[in-house]
Chains A and B, each alone.
Chain A
Amino acid sequence: MNQQIKTTAEHFQKAPSGIAGLDEITFGGLPKGRPTLIAGAAGCGKTLFALTFLVEGATAYDEPGVFMTFEERADDLVQNVSSLGYDLPGLIAENKLVIDYVRVERSEIEQSGEYDLEGLFVRLGHAIDKIGAKRVVLDTLEALFSGLGDGPVLRAELRRLFQWLKDRGVTAVITAERGAEGQLTRHGLEEYVSDCVIALDNRVDEQITTRRLRVMKYRGSAHGTNEYPFLIDKGGISVLPVTSAGLSHSISDEVVSSGISGIDAMLGIGGYYRGSSVLLSGPSGTGKTTFGSNFVNAACLAGKRAIYFSFEESPEQIVRNMRSVGLDLDSHVNTGLLRFESSRPSLFGLEMHLVLMIRQIDAFNPAVVVVDPISAFRGSESEIHATLLRLVDYLKVKGITVVFNNLVNGEQDDRNEQSLSSLMDVWIGLHDLEANGERNRGLFVLKARGMSHSNQIREYRLGSDGVTLIEPYIGPHGVLTGSARIVQEAQEEAATLERRDEVNRRKREFTEKKSAAERQIAETREALQREEAELLALETVDERKEQTLTASRSAAATRRGATT
């Protein structure tokens, strides 16, 4: 029995809405062959939503559709959506779409005796049969309430209508006006449409409008339960496709350079892991943008694509400014490897920025991304956190390495940063080091997941040759920077020189001593040699004398008688 139920659930069919993101939230689309209710206040985009469902069905999924409109005339409808690139007349001509405008004017209708809405059924049925429609939109049924009065007849007929739609096996979308507080729809249509309910919303928060969508109910199917922002622009409707990816992404051992050799050297693996998220925080003027630019520059030099999301500076400004630190970003822009996306943070809500970023990332497919700075985003701490979490998750899944720049006030890290930390794999802090009447820049690695990293505070300089990390000086009084370091270095150099002099003097002395000794040795040796020579000479003389003596002795002996 259980098995039976399970099997049915697995075969639950869905009709893809064709609306980017929505099909991900609903894991495949709207319930096929069943009605779906879309509720929202005026101006939320209900009609557009419903129409997109039909147009996509007709063009992408070979499911013709009937659009029954109670509010807008067919001509108005056609005009209103032509700006989105929907060619309704074309679809109508191809028999893929029928638009039926139902005029309901209370002033024109008198009632006497019983009636039913069979006329509507006939109308709809005829339209469905004419083109073999698989999808139906009723926008907005509530017009019937104002036209016919909210009575038991209408209620009964609506109930019959939804059952009839199910029996016809069409996937229907019914739009409804949002009711007063607490009520989903003004006339309680949700009572009849119970398979799937989607609420649209258009909220103004700090003068920024964000459209949001929520799947309130989806009988028989799992669905994303959050509120998701959605966007209506020339590309139609797209729901933020950030279905939280969670922590199940595959990881990489590949290393991505930070673009600054000094930083690469501080990190145990010589850069960031691919797909990691890097937080670069520091007060103004510490060179965050320069670091970010170096990062994209390195990626582009390696032939990879990069997107730089800038919320404070225009692309031209960044390109110009980076020229002063020796970066030629212009060439990367020209080769198409680098793309700048600049927008004022106040232009959209936080979520909308996320939608746009993800859209662009999807379209461009970069290897690295820079977001500069995240502190520009407005919203509550938890909202920013949630948004970044989704962005990080999304980028991780795609294996995109991201650098977030974050502007912080002075030396103190606010709590916001603390909560950000958990999202980040690498956190590099840029600091102003103030001492001895000057201000120097220092950086250190606060954390780097999965790699050993230097614990030093390193001074760095921004110059025409880029970012240079200076060899650290760690003296008895801690790390010294700027001229203090130079002074200390000079002092040390002097001391070294002194020491070297001393050594030299000692060396010289030793050399002298050594040569003196050697001289002495030489003299002694000479004396010995002389003596030896003399001795030798003496020996020779002596021998000769002896020979002479022997000779004269034998001569005398001969003379004495040997001759005889």
Chain B
Amino acid sequence: MTSPTTPDAAGEDGAEIPDDGIFHFRLYIAGQTSKSLAAIRNLTLLCDTHLPERHKIEVLDLAENPELAAQDQIIAVPTLVRSLPPPLKRMIGTLADPEKFLIGLDYSRPAS
């Protein structure tokens, strides 16, 4: 799990492997709907609880940047994409189930 690359160069397919142990999340929402807000809330809570100081959250609103939907292959909203650490993981929904979030994102795996 060692690879000397710049973390932010990691593309959609997550080919680059960073080693800073930071989780990069992109949350795609479409407008400020209740689902969107719930997802933001849940994600922030989960990260603060389980990944304190080890996460980066980027919220992308498709209502403002519709071209991102095609570019990043988004169908459902909210969609959470974990671009780092690899492999790239996707999760759809409001992230209401913490357990699913943790298992689905392979949280248990050591980050470094």
Size category of the binding interface on chain B: 35 or more
Which one of A109, A112, A125 contacts B96 once the chains associate, using CB atoms below 8 Å? A112
A148 neighbours in B (Cβ, 8 Å): 75-76, 92
With A100-B70, A123-B74, A144-B75 in contact, is A110–B94 under 8 Å at CB?
no
Which one of B69, B73, B91, B94 contacts A122 once the chains associate, using CB atoms below 8 Å? B69
Query: Do B62 and A119 have beta carbons less than 8 Å apart?
Result: yes
A111 neighbours in B (Cβ, 8 Å): 91-93, 100
Query: Do B95 and A112 have beta carbons less than 8 Å apart?
Result: yes
A97-139 vs B: 1/0 string, CB under 8 Å? Answer: 0001011100011111111111111110111000000000000
B75-92 vs A: 1/0 string, CB under 8 Å? Answer: 111110000000011111
Whether a CB of chain A sits under 8 angstroms from the CB of B63 is yes
B55-71 vs A: 1/0 string, CB under 8 Å? Answer: 00000001100110110
A103 neighbours in B (Cβ, 8 Å): 73
> How many residues of A are counted as interface, with CB atoms below 8 angstroms from the partner's CB atoms?
26
With A100-B70, A116-B35, A125-B66 in contact, is A110–B75 under 8 Å at CB?
no
Whether a CB of chain A sits under 8 angstroms from the CB of B104 is yes
With A114-B96, A115-B35, A115-B76 in contact, is A126–B70 under 8 Å at CB?
yes
CA gap between A104 and B93 in the complex, in Å: 16
Query: Do A108 and B90 have beta carbons less than 8 Å apart?
Result: yes
CA gap between A123 and B105 in the complex, in Å: 26
Whether a CB of chain A sits under 8 angstroms from the CB of B39 is yes
Query: Do A126 and B69 have beta carbons less than 8 Å apart?
Result: yes
With A100-B70, A108-B90, A110-B89 in contact, is A118–B77 under 8 Å at CB?
yes
Which one of A104, A112, A113, A123 contacts B69 once the chains associate, using CB atoms below 8 Å? A123
CA gap between A104 and B90 in the complex, in Å: 11
**Can you name 7 A-B pairs with beta carbons within 8 Å?**
A110-B89, A117-B77, A118-B77, A122-B74, A123-B66, A126-B67, A148-B92
For the A-B complex with A110-B100, A113-B42, A123-B66 known, give 16 more contacts whose Cβ atoms are closer than 8 Å: A103-B73, A104-B75, A110-B92, A111-B91, A112-B94, A113-B39, A113-B94, A113-B97, A115-B93, A119-B62, A119-B76, A119-B79, A122-B30, A122-B66, A123-B69, A148-B75
